[in-house]
Copies of this chain bind each other. A is one copy, B any other.
């Protein structure tokens, strides 16, 4: 019998992880963006690639868009997605690639620039109406590079004003999720650097505003699962941006740098009722600078699935008993036992039972899709950061 009980499989079957359209475009560092054959040249090709991930895993039924990178006829795009068995998801705004935003957008000194940035978000809400998306995700790439450059307090107040205006435009079933980030692209201060700031900002807006936790956006040594716990406890964990990092915000494949950390995060998700809870969206936000992008995304959603399975395997009763007894080694052993259990064979077998490939990575490689798009997608401009 499988180590994965029917209850666990029921949970796993419900799991869905949203893909970012931009993960299929080229990305890189400030030093160089390397290209790849077959990289999408428009939003439609990105959706086609994303659909491959879902086709082989049944884990990724929706795709997040980035505005203005993915501007197009959204009726057409929506139909294209649905034809391929996926749907359009979270809308991500962009206030970091326009000359006007060099010194801020929603926090800018100049009311005209703030207005422009607010209008961009209102436009994003219109896109959401067209795409049927629920969530507007705001990553605030604002801050300053030198001490004294900016009035951090005034910016915080202006941020509240700007967000309030955007919030007021949300539909009844729409939400705003506010991402925080420790540093980059600003190097001295960022206007939403930590969960506390995101939390206090969204709490001041209302129930439809939530925190987005990007797993790569913390100071070295931060206990991220603690924050997951706290935000679930406070009812304000709106979404995850999954990726991993060794140093800064590397945007590596989720689980690649510290699998045990991913396990601990997912355990807190399970413990706090965040799994398959519509309030908590699971998304990837990654770069594939040197590895192939579609397999990179397949690997990522599998990593999340496998680690969720391990988190579900934790013997919660035995854990609680050991915790109550202050049996340090015992409680840790219960926890580690689940982490060290190899769930992959059981998952492979379960996939096959559901008509999915046992090994999605191998199945995709065998499909010839990469060669096909490399041959077909010639000419045009490859999508990437900024397109």
Contacts and interface: CB of A to CB of B under 8 A. Distances in A.
Interface stretch (A11-19, A50-58, A82-90, A291-299): A291-299
Interface stretch (A24-32, A40-48, A66-74): A24-32
B234 A200 contact: yes
A195 interface: yes
Contacts of A219: 218-222
Given A34-B99, A332-B148, A340-B342, A258 B256 contact: no
A324 to B, nearest CB: 5
A32 to B, nearest CB: 5
A290 interface: yes
Contact of A246 (B188, B229, B296, B328): B188
Contacts of A341: 342
A287 to B, nearest CB: 8
A183 B221 contact: yes
A290 B27 contact: no
Contacts of A268: 152-153
A31 to B, nearest CB: 5
**Most chain B CB atoms below 10 A, which of A102, A194, A246, A328:** A328
A59 interface: no
B229 A152 contact: yes
A369 interface: no
Given A183-B221, A185-B31, A259-B260, A230 B331 contact: no
A203 to B, nearest CB: 9
A220 B152 CA distance: 20
Contacts of A360: none
Interface residues of A, number: 102
B147 A335 contact: yes
B246 A187 contact: yes
A289 B189 CA distance: 15
Interface stretch (A123-131, A247-255, A275-283, A373-381): A247-255
A268 B222 CA distance: 25
A335 to B, nearest CB: 3
26 contacts: A31-B96, A31-B141, A102-B290, A103-B290, A109-B326, A145-B250, A147-B264, A148-B333, A148-B334, A148-B336, A149-B328, A149-B332, A151-B323, A153-B229, A182-B247, A183-B247, A187-B250, A189-B223, A195-B196, A196-B230, A218-B219, A219-B221, A256-B332, A290-B328, A292-B329, A296-B329
Given A156-B233, A200-B230, A219-B221, 16 more contacts: A31-B96, A31-B185, A34-B102, A109-B324, A145-B250, A145-B252, A147-B264, A148-B319, A148-B331, A150-B331, A152-B226, A183-B221, A183-B247, A187-B246, A291-B328, A341-B342
